[in-house]
Amino acid sequence: MTRELRLRRPDDWHLHLRDGAALRAVLPFTSKRFARAIVMPNLAPPVTNTALALAYRERILSALPPGARFQPLMTLYLTDHTSGAEIEHAHASGAIFGCKLYPAGATTHSEAGVTDIARLEPALASMTALDLPLLVHGEVTDAQVDVFEREARFIDRVLAPLAERWPQLRIVFEHVTTRAAVEFVRSARPGIAATVTPQHLLHNRNALFAGGLRPHLYCLPVLKTEADRRALLEPLAGGDIRFFLGTDSAPHARAAKESACGCAGVFSSHAAIELYAEIFETESILPRLQGFASEYGADFYRLPRNQDEISLVREPWSPPASYPYDGGELVPLRAGEPIAWRLQSAPA
Ligand code: NCD
Ligand code: ZN
C-alpha cells in the first residue's frame, strides 16, 4: 500500500473565504494546501464590481499567515445590471478570472443574483469577447421544482440554451451533483467544465438523515442519490480533463447551522486534499488525483500548472470537533472522525 503521496501542489477552483475574522480563521487551511483558489464573490454585500473585488483581494492577502504563498483568483458577482464595460474593467485588472452566475434566491447571499438570464446579454457578450469564464451555480430557483431536481432542470431550462446561445463562452458548471450534470458536461461542446466537491463524492443524501438530522452535511446543491454519487466518480476514474477540484468549502458558524433554519454550506478546507486522496484511494484511482487536483483546472483557466509539490502520508488523524471561528465555532467535515491521509509537507 502507498505510504506517501507526492503531488504537484493543487489549486481549489471553487472556494468561499468570507471576510473579516471569518476570513482570518479559514484562510490558513487553504493557503497551506493550495497554491491558488477561485474565490467566490457572495459576500454581503456581494462583490459586484472590480473595485470591490480588488479591495477584497487586498484583504485576503493581508490575512495570509506570514510567509504563505497563495494567490487568490478573484471573481465578479453577476447581477441583472452588470454592464459590458464592468466586464472589460474586470478583465483589464488582471486580478479577476471569472464571473459568477447565482440565480437569484438559489443559495447563500444570492438575493442580488440574476433574475432572468436575458438580462445578462451585455455581460455575456463581453465575457465571450474577452474569454472570461462564466462560473455557474446550476440550480433553478422555482419553488415548484423538487429540491433534488433543481440541478437537472437547470440544465434543460438554462444551461443548455445558454451554451448554445454563446458557443465561444467558456463555462464552469460548479459543484456538480447528479448523473444528469455529468452527462451534460461529457457530451457538451468544448469549453465546458465542472468542479466536484469532496462532500458530493463522499456522501449520498441518506447521510443527511443518518440517525437524525445532520446539519453539517447540508449544502447547496443538496446531496443526491447513491447513483448520482457513483456517476460523479466516473469521469474522475477516467481522467476526464473537464472535471476538476473545487471544494465549495463554505464556512458557517455552528449556531447558524444548528438552527431552526440552518445555513447551507460544508466546511472542508482543513482537510480538503486529504479527503480527496481518501476518495481516490477508496476507488483505486489514486494515480488520477494529480490531474484532477493540480492540472486540469489550471489548464482550463489557462494558468501555469504549479511547479512545487505537497506530500501526504497514509496516517489516519481526526480533525477536532470544531475550530474557533469569528467568536464562535466552526464544525469541519469529518469532525472527530478519522481521515486516512495526513498532510506532511507543503512549501509554505
Ligand atoms: C455556499 C455559501 O455558504 O456561501 N453554500 C453552499 O451550500 N455551497 C453558497 C453556494 O456555493 O451555494
Ligand atoms: Zn459555492
- Domains belonging to the chain, first-starting first, are 12-307 (3.20.20.140)
In the residue annotation, 228 being an active-site residue is answered as no
For residues 134 and 170, the answer to whether their CB atoms sit within 8 Å is yes
pLDDT band at 1 (very low <50, low <70, confident <90, very high): low
Mean pLDDT calculated for residue range 190-206: 98
pLDDT (average), residues 320-337: 98
275-315: pLDDT as tens digits: 999 999 999 999 999 999 999 999 999 999 999 999 999 99
Helix pair 84-93, 50-63: axis angle to 10 deg: 30
Q: What is the 3-state secondary structure (H, E, C) of the chain?
A: CCCEEEEECCCEEEECCCCHHHHHHHHHHHHHHCCEEEECCCCCCCCCCHHHHHHHHHHHHHHCCCCCCCEEEEEEECCCCCCHHHHHHHHHHCCEEEEEECECCCCCCCCCCECCHHHHHHHHHHHHHHCCCEEECCCCCCCCCCHHHHHHHHHHHHHHHHHHHCCCCCEEECCCCCHHHHHHHHHCCCCEEEEECHHHHHCCHHHHHCCCCCHHHCCCCCCCCHHHHHHHHHHHHCCCCCEEECCCECCCCHHHHCCCCCCCCECCHHHHHHHHHHHHHHCCCHHHHHHHHHHHHHHHCCCCCCCCEEEEEEEEECCCCCEEECCEEECCCCCCCCEEEEEEECCC
- Record the cell numbers describing residue 226, joined without a space: 447513491
Of the ligands numbered here, which is closest to the C-alpha atom of 150? 1
d(CA 100, CA 75): 7
Q: Which distant-in-sequence residues (6+ apart) come within 8 Å of 148 by Cβ?
A: 205, 222, 224, 225
Q: Name the phi and psi angles at 96, rounded to 5.
A: -110, 125
Separation of CA 109 and ligand 2 centre (Å): 11
- Protein residue with least CA distance to atom 9, ligand 1: 108
pTM: 0.97
Ligand 1 center from residue 265 Cα (angstroms)? 5
Q: Is the CB of 14 under 6 A from ligand 1?
A: no
Residue from 12, 228, 240, 248 carrying the catalytic annotation: 248
User: 51-65, 105-119, 151-165: which has the minimum mean pLDDT?
Assistant: 105-119
* pLDDT score, position 107: 83
Ligand 1 pocket test: which of 12, 17, 42, 174 has the largest number of ligand atoms within 8 Å of its C-beta? 42
Ligand closest in space to the Cα of 220: 1
* 264 CB near ligand 1 (under 6 Å): yes
Distances in whole angstroms, Cα of residue 147 to Cα of each of 134, 185, 250, 296? 24, 21, 19, 30
Q: Average pLDDT for residues 183-205, to the nearest whole number?
A: 98
Q: Is the CB of 253 under 6 A from ligand 1?
A: no
CB of 107 shorter than 6 A to ligand 1: yes
| 89-103, 104-118, 126-140: range with lowest mean pLDDT | 104-118
Residue 32: partners with Cβ closer than 8 Å, 6 or more residues away: 68, 343, 346, 348
> pLDDT value at position 281?
98
Residue 346: which pLDDT band, with cuts at 50, 70 and 90? low
